[in-house]
Amino acid sequence: MLNKILYIIFAYFCGAIPFAYILTKLFAGVDIRTVGSGNPGTTNVFRAAGKKVGILVFLLDVSKGFVPVYFACLADGGFVFSAIVALAAMLGHIYTIFLKFKGGKGVATGLGVFLALMSAPTLSAFAVFIIVFLLFGYVSFGSISACIVLPIAAYFFGYGLEPIIFASIIAFAIIYKHKSNIKRLIAGNENKFNVFGRKNK
């Protein structure tokens, strides 16, 4: 039991590593919280520090969700423990102790978490993100669409009630974190993002 508690704490601190802040500070010399949207997440890193740093942050944020959950699944095999570890990693990213509990919105880390928990539904949701993003140019719209698809895909891939409910809760939490983006989408003033450059109005 103690080992599991310590591992859950480890998962939180793993998720809490603020790669967006660290790498933007290192490569661009700016505090990610003071530029663009102020959100220490992948999209803002692309805008503040460029494509290469943005891709690196994205991969690291995915990894910090994937790694602790993957090994939790290997060690335990039961869904409940893996889900708690996944939640800890997500909370670490969204409420990181290293940035006064103000972290990112959880999209990239959530991708890593669910790749470890339910790979097929997650890849389906990620495909939806790519399609919506390429069609409309909005990262936020793609992220919200992927969140909606994830629990639905989990159902169609035959996952049980617990994983579907867990996916729904996390998806709702990520969508809620996008509430300001949703307002801007409705108002028509959300920034479009050009993957081949920096940003596009």
Whether the Cβ atoms of residue 53 and residue 27 lie closer than 8 Å to each other: yes
Residue 197 lies in a domain: no
> Cα–Cα distance between 68 and 114 in angstroms, integer?
11
* pLDDT of 2 above 90: no
Query: Could you give the C-alpha distances from 126 to 32, 79, 107, 123, 131, in angstroms and in order?
Result: 25, 22, 10, 5, 9
Query: Could you give the C-alpha distances from 98 to 10, 128, 194, 201, in angstroms and in order?
Result: 14, 32, 30, 32
Each residue's pLDDT tens digit, 79-132: 999 999 999 999 999 999 999 999 999 999 999 999 999 999 999 999 999 999
* pLDDT of 13 above 60: yes
> Cα–Cα distance between 81 and 67 in angstroms, integer?
14
Residue 201 lies in a domain: no
* pLDDT of 193 above 90: no
* pLDDT of 78 above 90: no
Residue 140 lies in a domain: yes
Q: Which of 13, 184, 41, 172 is nearest to 106 (CA)?
A: 41
Residue 77 lies in a domain: yes
Residue 97 lies in a domain: yes
What does pLDDT average to over the chain? 93
Range of the domain at 66: 2-187
Q: Which of 176, 178, 126 is nearest to 150 (CA)?
A: 126
Residue 192 lies in a domain: no
Q: What is the pTM (predicted TM-score) of this model? A: 0.92
* pLDDT of 199 above 50: no
Reading phi first (left if > 0) and then psi (alpha if -120 to 50, else beta), residue 29 is in left
> What whole-number percentage of the chain has pLDDT above 70?
96
Residue 95 lies in a domain: yes
Residue 200 lies in a domain: no
Cite the DSSP H helix spans in the chain. Answer: 2-16, 19-28, 42-49, 51-76, 79-94, 107-117, 119-136, 139-156, 161-177, 179-187
Q: How many domains does the chain have?
A: 1
Confidence grade of residue 198 (pLDDT, cut at 50, 70, 90): very low
